[in-house]
Amino acid sequence: MTESPPTTRSARTRARIADAARALFAEAGVTATSVRDIAERAECDPALVIRYFGSKEALFTAVVQFDLMLPELRGLTPGAAAERLAGHFVRIWETRESGEKFQTLLRSATSHEPSAERLRAVFAGQVQPVIAAFCGEGASAGDTAAKVASVVLGVALGRYILRLPPLTGIAPERLPDLIATSLEPILAAGLPARLQPREDGDPSP
C-alpha cells in the first residue's frame, strides 16, 4: 500500500483540526474550548494545533470566516423580500459547516469580544448593504437593517443556542414562514413613503 505523501497527511490533519474546532466552538463556545479539547476531537497531539494554526484565537479566526452570500432584494415587494431573506438564513443555519460557523459566533459573542466583533462585522458588511439597497438611500436603511438583524439573531439564538422548545419543534421547511412574518412589516416600514404598500397590497404611486 502506497503511503500518503507528507503534504497530503498534513492537509488532512489540518482539516481535521479545523473541523473539530468548528464543531466544538459551536457546541461550547470559544472560551470554554481548549486546545487540548480540539486535539482530542481531532485525534492528534495538541502541539499540532499550535503548529498548524499558531493559537486558539488564530484557529478561531480561520474557521469562522464566511460569506453569507445574501440574495438581491432590490425591486422586490416587502413580502417577497422577507421570504427570500428568511429562506436564505434558514439554509445557512441548517447546513452543517455554515451553521456551525454561525452558531460559534452567536454562542461566543456575549463573552468573547473577537466573536462579537466578527458578528458585528458580518452584519455591517454584508447584511446592511443588502437592506440599504432594498430600502434605497435614506436614514431608515440603518434602522431597518438593525431590526432585521434583531429578528434573525433572535430566532437563531432561541432555536440553536437556547434550544427553546417552541422553536426547536418547528420543521426547517416551516421556519422561513415564521421569520418572514416578522420581517415583512419591518422591510415595508423601511421603504420610502412613495413605495409604502397600500392597503390593497400595491405600492403607492
Specify the CATH class of 6-63 in words: mainly alpha
Instruction: Give me the pLDDT at residue 13, please.
Output: 93
Residue 197's φ and ψ, nearest 5 degrees, are -65, 140
- Is the pTM higher than 0.75? The answer reads yes
Using alpha carbons, list the distances in angstroms from residue 176 to 83, 119, 128, 146, 190. 7, 21, 20, 19, 20
Instruction: Give me the pLDDT at residue 196, please.
Output: 61
pLDDT in tens, 157-192: 999 999 999 999 999 999 999 999 999 999 999 987
pLDDT in tens, 3-18: 555 568 899 999 999 9
The full set of domain ranges for the chain reads 6-63, 78-195
